[in-house]
Amino acid sequence: MAIISERRSVASTPVAVGEPQDRCRFGPSFDRSRVECPAFQRGQFIAATSYGKPLGTHVACTHLMVGELGTNQFYPRCTLGDQHARMRWLANMGPGRIEVLKALNAEFERLYPDSLRQLIIAKAAVLAAPPDDRTARLTLATVVRDFVSQFTTFITTHADRIAEIGYAPIDLTARAAHVLAEWQHSARLDLPGVDEQSILRPAGADAATGDDVVATSGLMISRTSLPTTVTLVGSIDESNLEALSDALERATVSGDVVIVDLSAVTFCSVAGLRMLTATADAGKLTLHGMQPRLRRAMIAAGLSGTTPPSRRARETSDG
């Protein structure tokens, strides 16, 4: 369950006016950089030459595809769309279902580590072979059939969890078979992801039942009750601090101590940390799942531990 696509070199790219809105800013080398994108779904990226020689496996995002700008101009395209579309996808999925999806992806990768690679190699051999060579085509057909069979077994085994996140297992396998058959006969080496939005699409408006979800710029805030828990997915910065502050205000209005789950927070500004810790210090909420990177940020900003005395401490400034 991962997207694979032919490796295209993507040059260092200053942001220019008129660029596609669905350009992915976070990759394509996700194994070398941290990923702040809240919609990031880990998957494998198998690079291969057009002669079928594998160039290696990289960490990629299942939403990442090759986009075309024009003749021989390519860019990393997010199949979800622009930032707003990513947030809509997150809001529709809800944090619980995203966790299930991530776990399923990892499980499939663990069970069938080589199947995606074999697909790419077989397809590359077809593309490189002369048109009248039937051997390569037969091999590809076998590999595709095996893959569909593995995928169907996997989906059937995990039918309950897949149903839990709002997908019908039978639709899923049918769609995967259809997409792969199309790909098998196409001239493309890159394979559409079998769990991309077009296949594993959220099932309608009741997708996030029970969750009170706010998807603001770069941050999904969802609330569940008993006990009141606010789950944050994404990054906290100047663009959504006010929305977060409002949401926490609403959640704590009843006087209950609210649990704030920070385990899926990929970035938090110093102002965000200050707001969260100040509200926690006031006894209104408890912070769970704070990651080491956020703790390090608090130390650097002088927000944790004892603040040494200073003549130069100022209480307000523009610094």
Partner 1 sequence: MTEHAATGDFRHEALLYRGESDFVERVAPFILDGIATGEPTLVMVSSAKINALRERMGGLDGLVEYRDMQTVGANPARIIPAWDEFAVTKAQDGAVRLRGVGEPIWHGRLAGQMEECHWHESLINRAFADVKGFWLICPYDAAALDPSVVDEARTTHPVIIDGDRVVRTAQDVQDAFPVPTTPLAAQLAQPDRVVAEMSFAADTLMELRAIVAVEGARAGLSPERLEDLILAVSEIATNSVTHGGGRGVARVWLDGGDVVCEISDRGVITDPLVDRHRPGHDPSSARGLWTANQLCDLVQVRSSRERGSVVRLLVHAGHRTA
Query: Which residues form the interface with partner 1 (CB under 8 A)?
Result: 12-15, 25-27, 29, 32-37, 83, 217-218, 235, 237-239, 267, 269-271, 274, 278, 293, 296-297, 299-303, 307-319
Nearest distance from residue 272's CB to partner 1, in Å? 10
The closest of 79, 314, 25 to 194, measured between CA atoms, is 79
Q: Which is nearer to partner 1, 28 or 94 (CB)?
A: 28
Q: Which is nearer to partner 1, 111 or 301 (CB)?
A: 301
The closest of 180, 287, 182, 291 to 231, measured between CA atoms, is 287
Nearest distance from residue 65's CB to partner 1, in Å? 18
Q: Which is nearer to partner 1, 71 or 306 (CB)?
A: 306
Quote the tokens at residue 113: 């580590």
Nearest distance from residue 281's CB to partner 1, in Å? 10
- Measured CA to CA, the distance from residue 234 to residue 228 in angstroms comes to 20
Q: Which is nearer to partner 1, 14 or 255 (CB)?
A: 14
3-class state of residue 106 by DSSP? helix
Quote the tokens at residue 247: 């949401």
Nearest distance from residue 138's CB to partner 1, in Å? 41
Q: Which is nearer to partner 1, 125 or 219 (CB)?
A: 219
Q: Using an 8 Å Cβ cutoff, are 36 and 264 in contact?
A: no
Q: Which residues pair with 140 in a beta bridge?
A: none
Number of CB atoms found within 10 A of residue 298's CB: 18
Nearest distance from residue 101's CB to partner 1, in Å? 22
Name the DSSP class of 191: B
